[in-house]
């Protein structure tokens, strides 16, 4: 159920109250109510959207609704359907999902998934897929224990409230009590009395014996719709309905696009050849920050030239080959033929092809993952990555939809990012200001330390070894230089990096570019709208991590060699951890218990 609140209150006035007091009996077992806006009824649920402003512009398919009993077996075909038909919102009822199904198993690329599964009972459930281009906030306060999802969506700077609600035929009508007063009229009477128009003209449920229109799209302003109709798909005998409205702006992205680089042999050879010819003499004219900046600029220029960026569609179902797609098309054609002819022979052939597709799809998917697992048995990381695709874990949603800062609600992504940046960079000073000053008086125990700490001068072999041992699975920092590129370039950049590292040690200056991190906020728990409940994960440049490893090695050697670290320190100590401290504490407790000590 969705409506634009400000416009309704202004335009409807007192008429809104009378209009709201209408309850529509639209099936033998279902009753629902509607706001004065464009709305859509389905046998299994309700989905509504306000028409928005009447203005010239592009055609934008705003919503599509369907009932798919058990979404999991049909997810591959749903992805195919919505690969080229990309509405802003997809509403699905009767998802039949539970806690054993991870979000990643039923995701559709280009959309954010929100689902509400039925608890302690088989069947039911609702899901909303919202385009990644949309600004939206989940309105959990409106759900109130029912099988309903509510979203506040912004389209062209206008906010709508969109709901996906499901009521099973054998359930009480109390699920709709919060929506309206109890008053019933039949659907046709409701349309005539309120001067509405029903836009769906085709049957929405077709079997070999019956055809019925049980899903409707009703609006006060039919001129706002460029097109409305039924999407004839063969997932079930219950077809989705859709509505396309005129909106100014840009088309929604139809595919999941990712930016990547090609690491083929030819590109790698070109990369190595250019590095061999590079003398790196440009850095000799600079000191400190400028020296590293000059090196990074030259290296990235070579890297980008040899490994250009390219945008590709993310492959969503690689096990679907041309043979299976041909059978799917044949099934669809037979379905259209059976609907048109009504022949029992055509319907039987359609059912045969439908069952053939179902069994072939399961077999193709099983064989694909079986082959992938066999291919990666010698590579533990690749093996487990594939296994996680087969049995995905519970993925947690890290998207921050809104923040409450100083009583003000932040919903824009840029505003949220700026607010978190400010919070993370100032939280340390805020915490220290509330702490008492440290006691700097010397203790009775002293440490005889006659040595003076100095960083050791690095050899080229030290840096070369560190570069060749770098983990290529490490995340890329803000410099956008991946670890894999550093590993390939190790023999050709080890000398220049050795010079940069030693210059940093001698001048006591850490390059400022290495302090810039990509910060990813992770939700710790509690209220999601509070900044205090977000933990920052900082991803530094890979080169800075190599530099830090040498700094850490020198500090560890000096502090341990001069007795500056006590044996009972476990954190940040070589070959030790806080886990060791816990083991020793538990062991001492057990020993005390054995001795009868208290």
Query: Does domain 60-171+178-245 correspond to CATH entry 3.40.50.300?
Result: no
**Please, are residues 463 and 501 in contact by the beta-carbon 8 Å criterion?**
yes
The tens place of each residue's pLDDT in the chain, 598 residues long, gives: 333 333 333 333 333 333 333 333 333 233 332 222 333 333 333 333 333 322 222 334 445 555 555 788 888 888 877 776 678 888 888 888 888 888 878 888 778 888 888 877 777 888 888 887 778 888 877 777 678 888 888 777 777 777 777 767 666 555 545 444 323 445 566 667 667 788 888 888 887 788 887 777 777 677 767 888 887 777 766 777 777 766 554 444 455 567 788 888 999 999 999 999 988 888 888 877 788 888 999 999 999 999 988 877 666 678 888 888 888 889 888 888 888 888 889 889 988 998 898 888 888 888 888 888 888 888 888 888 888 777 766 555 567 877 888 888 887 888 888 999 888 888 878 777 777 776 655 555 555 556 788 888 899 999 999 999 998 888 898 889 999 999 999 999 999 999 999 988 888 888 888 888 888 898 887 787 888 888 888 899 999 999 999 998 888 888 888 878 777 788 877 778 888 888 888 998 998 888 888 6
Identify the pLDDT of residue 256: 58
**Contact residues for 62 (Cβ-Cβ < 8 A; gap 6+):** 49, 87, 88, 89, 155, 243, 244, 245, 247
SS (H, E, C) 299-362: HHHHHHHHCCEEEEECCCCCCCCHHHHHHHHHHHHHHHHHHHHCCHHHHHHHHHHHHHHHHHHH
pLDDT of residue 186: 53
CA separation (Å) from 213 to 32, 41, 208, 210, 453? 17, 11, 15, 10, 83
Q: What is the pLDDT of residue 472?
A: 87
The pLDDT, as a whole number, for residue 556 is 84
Number of CB atoms found within 10 A of residue 134's CB: 15
Q: Mark 147-169 as b/e (b = at least 16 C-beta within 10 Å).
A: bbbbbbbebeeebbbbbbbbbbe
pTM above 0.75, yes or no: no
């Amino acid at each position: 159920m969705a409506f634009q609140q400000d416009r309704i209150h202004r335009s409807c006035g007192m008429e809104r109250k009378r209009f709201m007091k209408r309850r529509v009996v639209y099936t033998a077992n279902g009753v629902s109510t509607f706001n004065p806006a464009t709305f859509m009824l389905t046998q299994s649920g309700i989905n509504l959207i306000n028409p928005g402003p009447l203005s010239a512009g592009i055609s934008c398919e705003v919503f599509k609704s369907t009932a798919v009993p058990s979404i999991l077996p049909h997810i591959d075909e749903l992805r195919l359907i919505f690969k080229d038909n990309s509405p802003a919102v997809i509403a699905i009822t009767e998802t039949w999902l539970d806690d054993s199904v991870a979000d990643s198993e039923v995701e559709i690329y280009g959309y954010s998934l929100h689902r509400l599964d039925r608890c302690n009972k088989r069947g039911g459930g609702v899901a909303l897929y919202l385009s990644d281009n949309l600004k939206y906030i989940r309105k959990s306060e409106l759900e109130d224990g029912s099988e309903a999802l509510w979203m506040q969506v912004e389209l062209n700077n206008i906010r709508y409230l969109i709901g996906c609600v499901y009521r099973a035929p054998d359930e009480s009508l109390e699920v709709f009590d919060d929506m309206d007063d109890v008053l019933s009229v039949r659907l046709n009477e409701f349309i005539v009395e309120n001067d509405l128009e029903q836009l769906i003209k085709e049957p929405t449920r077709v079997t070999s014996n019956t055809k019925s229109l049980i899903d409707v799209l009703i609006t006060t302003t039919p001129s706002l719709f460029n097109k409305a109709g039924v999407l004839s798909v063969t997932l079930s005998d219950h077809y989705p309905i859709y509505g396309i409205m005129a909106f100014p702006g840009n088309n929604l992205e139809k595919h999941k696009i990712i930016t990547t680089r090609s690491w083929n042999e030819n590109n790698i050879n070109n990369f190595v050849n250019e590095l061999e010819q590079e003398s790196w003499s440009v850095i000799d004219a600079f000191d400190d920050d400028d020296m590293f900046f000059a090196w990074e600029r030259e290296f990235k220029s070579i890297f980008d030239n040899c490994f250009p960026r390219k945008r590709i569609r993310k492959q969503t179902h690689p096990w679907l080959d041309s043979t299976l797609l041909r059978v799917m098309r044949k099934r669809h054609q037979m379905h259209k033929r059976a609907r048109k002819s009504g022949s029992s022979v055509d319907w039987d052939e359609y059912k045969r092809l439908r069952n053939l597709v179902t069994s072939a799809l399961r077999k193709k998917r099983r064989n694909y993952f079986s082959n992938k697992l066999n291919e990666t048995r010698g590579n533990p990381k690749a093996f487990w990555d594939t296994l996680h695709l087969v049995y995905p874990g519970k993925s947690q949603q890290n998207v921050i939809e809104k923040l409450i800062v100083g009583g003000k609600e932040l919903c824009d992504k840029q505003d949220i990012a700026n607010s978190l940046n400010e919070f993370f960079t100032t939280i340390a000073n805020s915490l220290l200001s509330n702490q008492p000053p440290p006691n700097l008086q010397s203790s009775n125990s002293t440490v005889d330390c006659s040595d003076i700490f100095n960083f050791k001068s690095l050899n080229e072999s030290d840096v070369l070894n560190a570069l060749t041992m770098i983990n290529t699975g490490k995340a890329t920092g803000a410099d956008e230089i991946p670890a894999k590129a550093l590993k390939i370039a190790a023999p050709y950049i080890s000398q220049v990096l050795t010079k940069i590292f030693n210059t940093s040690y001698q001048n006591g200056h850490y390059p400022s570019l290495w302090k810039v991190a990509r910060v990813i906020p992770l939700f710790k728990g509690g209220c999601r709208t509070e900044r205090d409940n977000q933990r920052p994960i900082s991803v530094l440049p890979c080169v800075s991590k190599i530099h830090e490893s040498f700094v850490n090695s020198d500090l560890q050697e000096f502090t341990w060699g001069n007795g500056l670290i006590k044996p009972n320190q476990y954190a940040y100590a070589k070959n030790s951890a806080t886990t060791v401290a816990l083991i020793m504490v538990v062991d001492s407790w057990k020993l005390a218990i054995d001795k009868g000590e208290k």
